[in-house]
Amino acid sequence: METPERSAAEVKAPSAPAASHAPASAGANPGANVPGASSSGAGAACAVDTAAAEAGIPPECASIVRLAKLDELLALGRANSLWPLTFGLACCAIEMMAAGASRFDISRFGAEVFRPSPRQADVMIVAGTINRKMALAVKTLYDQMPEPKWVIALGNCAISGGPFVFPGQYAVVEGVDKLFPVDVYVPGCPPRPEALIEGILALEEKITGKRRWPRVPPQ
């Protein structure tokens, strides 16, 4: 089985909310992820003002009041405080550790609280080769995570078996999505820590429906 080619971390599930790929000018807006807020200009501001007026909020306070549904607030909190499971299977886990260290520092995105127990984690970063004798343990850890939970497949081994796939091989699971659903795929052998960060941003986008920063097109 060949390694699937994916040009960047991508969101798989069709149930992902419609993402709003804001123009570059939206990147500096600190309220871009606030439900009910928008960076798209006067029309959105009028919508917020109207909603505030309907809620009885004085016009002078409308610019600082944000109205949001509870689900959107929960999604915002979850997306900005992802707690990964402390869990590595092979070389890709070294890149995951580098992403958590000072040079890349995923605490900038609220995702640095690696938990030692699956019962306290909400995202599993599958980093490395999944040997068949490990598959049951990986599945058990996934099952022990509480809902809502998400999975990032980090590296070609987790995506499709990577370089260990050849005719007749019997030792490696050819993709973690053979065990449970995957939300974000981060290709590479290994992917760099920046790629994992992009995967976390893609997962945030899946959870909230909004992009934290605009994508930078390839040079």
Residue ranges in contact with ligand SF4 by CB under 6 A: 90-92, 128-129, 155-157, 162-163, 189-190
Query: Could you tell me the smallest distance in angstroms from the CB atom of residue 162 to ligand SF4?
Result: 4
Q: Pick between residue 75 and residue 158 the one whose CB is nearest to ligand SF4.
A: 158
Q: Between 35 and 193, name the residue whose CB sits nearer to ligand SF4.
A: 193
Angle subtended by helix axes 92-100 and 193-208, to nearest 10: 70
For ligand SF4, the closer of residues 100 and 155 by Cβ is 155
Q: Residue 176 Cβ, how far from ligand SF4 at the closest point, in Å?
A: 12
**Shortest spacing between CB 4 and ligand SF4, in angstroms:** 13
Beta carbon of residue 129, minimum distance to ligand SF4 (angstroms, whole number): 5
Query: Least CB distance from residue 53 to ligand SF4, whole Å?
Result: 54
Least gap, CB of 190 to ligand SF4 (angstroms)? 3
Nearer to ligand SF4, 20 or 131 (CB): 131
Count of CB atoms situated within 10 Å of the CB of 29: 14
Q: Which two tokens stand for residue 20?
A: 């709003």
Under 8 Å CB-to-CB from 200, ≥6 apart: which residues? Answer: 82, 106, 109, 111, 152
Residue owning tokens 């909603």? 51
As a whole number of angstroms, the distance between CA 54 and CA 50 comes to 6
Identify which of residues 67 and 91 has a Cβ nearer to ligand SF4 in the complex: 91
Q: Which two tokens stand for residue 14?
A: 């069709």
Spell 52-89 as b/e; 16+ CB within 10 A means b: beeeebeeeebeeeeeeeeebeebbebbeebbbbbbbb
Return the structure tokens found at 82: 């992802």
